[in-house]
Amino acid sequence: MRPPEFQRILIVKLSALGDVAHALPVIDYLGRVAPAAWIDWAVDRRFAGLLEGNPGLRRVVSLDLKRWKQGWSTAAARREASAAVRGLREGKYDVAFDLQGNAKSGVVTRLSAAPLRYGFDRDGAREVPNLLFTNRKVALRPEDRHISQKLLRIVSAPFGGEFDLSDLRSEFVITEAQMRHAAEVLGEIFPEAAPLVVVHAGTTWRTKRMDPVFWAEALGVLRKRYPRMGAFLSWGNEEERREAEEIRNHAGRGVELLPKLTLGELASVYRKCGCLMAPDTGPLHVAAAVGAKTVSVFRVTDGNRNAPFGSNHRFLQAPMPCTACLRKRCAMDAECRRSISAEAVAEAMADLMGVR
């Protein structure tokens, strides 16, 4: 069957940071199967920085959804939302791919006015109302274990449904100015250190986190292997900054906090350092997207589904019978934390550091 000749394509993947990063291979895929098409991406404004400047996109449609929802009683918010809808429809899309699968993304997909609107079927959609807004439901296959494979299954449907995730790249555009800034920041803290590694301990779910002592111990094990190693702690808010300070206090010499950084600056630091250790959190997936080697810890989520994909990445899954439970609160949280050793994480990172 001859593939469709779409001229204008809309990707709808609104949030969150890690979820948008998981969808980045879609751009590479569409660039190959529809090289003449204009590709736009609708995204929550808070995460637009992950997409801006991407050469595979014609336009990033940045939507201030949270602010519009909170201020819907005001005329200004309604005017802004209406203008955004008009701007979306000006795309005159042939097809839209809803890669979120919830009610909110369904509304955005429907408002795009694309005649073909691909999305998950009932088994794959995150929220049942999403099914009201798509008119091409795609069934996932048993081999679609990883989230990026699930998203590519939707996008590949009109093109024959076949893809190879290992052959597709994720691209996060970093400017030369951001790379220079990263070199300056790192050089000012540890000018002679090598290798360089970052720990990002913070995440929104308490049940995804590990204790500060855990990360300090992992860094201590790594330092025995690499005495000249420089270790950096990244953070995104005040709670994460305090957590990073606690890690530094436990770890001792050669470990310092990074300054407050924009998303682009943080990505450039991750690329410059080249190695990251973290739980299941957005910055983990940003680091993977810019080419850093990663070791991640998974407890309440499934690493086979969510961990960075590829040979430069390792994950450790909690060996609990209830692992990947998706609970934000759990009576066995402390036991689950203890089920993964800091030494195992450090050894996995050391193995990756030794791979050239």
At the second CATH level, the architecture of 176-353 is 3-Layer(aba) Sandwich (3.40)
Residues paired with residue 297 on neighbouring β-strands, in sequence order: 279, 316
Contact criterion met (CB below 8 Å) for 40 and 11? yes
The pLDDT-based confidence of 73 (bands split at 50, 70, 90) is confident
**27-37 pLDDT, tens digit each:** 999 999 999 99
Give the pLDDT band (50/70/90) at residue 343.
very high
Q: What residue ranges do the domains of the chain occupy?
A: 8-167, 176-353
3-state secondary structure of 221: helix
Q: Write out pLDDT tens, residues 149-171.
A: 999 999 999 999 999 999 999 99
For the whole model, what pTM was predicted?
0.93
pLDDT band at 342 (very low <50, low <70, confident <90, very high): very high
Among candidates 312, 300, 298, 268, which has minimal Cα distance to 286?
268
Q: What is the mean pLDDT of residues 112-134?
A: 98
Q: CATH topology of 8-167 equal to that of 176-353?
A: yes
Say what percent of the chain tops pLDDT 90: 92
pLDDT at 235: 97
Q: Please report which confidence band the pLDDT of residue 355 belongs to, taking 50, 70 and 90 as the band edges.
A: low
Cα–Cα distance measured from residue 210 to residue 214, given in angstroms and rounded to the nearest whole number: 6
Task: Compare 70 and 345 and report the one with higher pLDDT.
Answer: 345
* Cβ(219)–Cβ(199) below 8 Å: yes
CATH for 8-167 (3.40.50.2300, 3.30.470.20, 3.30.43.10, 3.40.50.2000): 3.40.50.2000
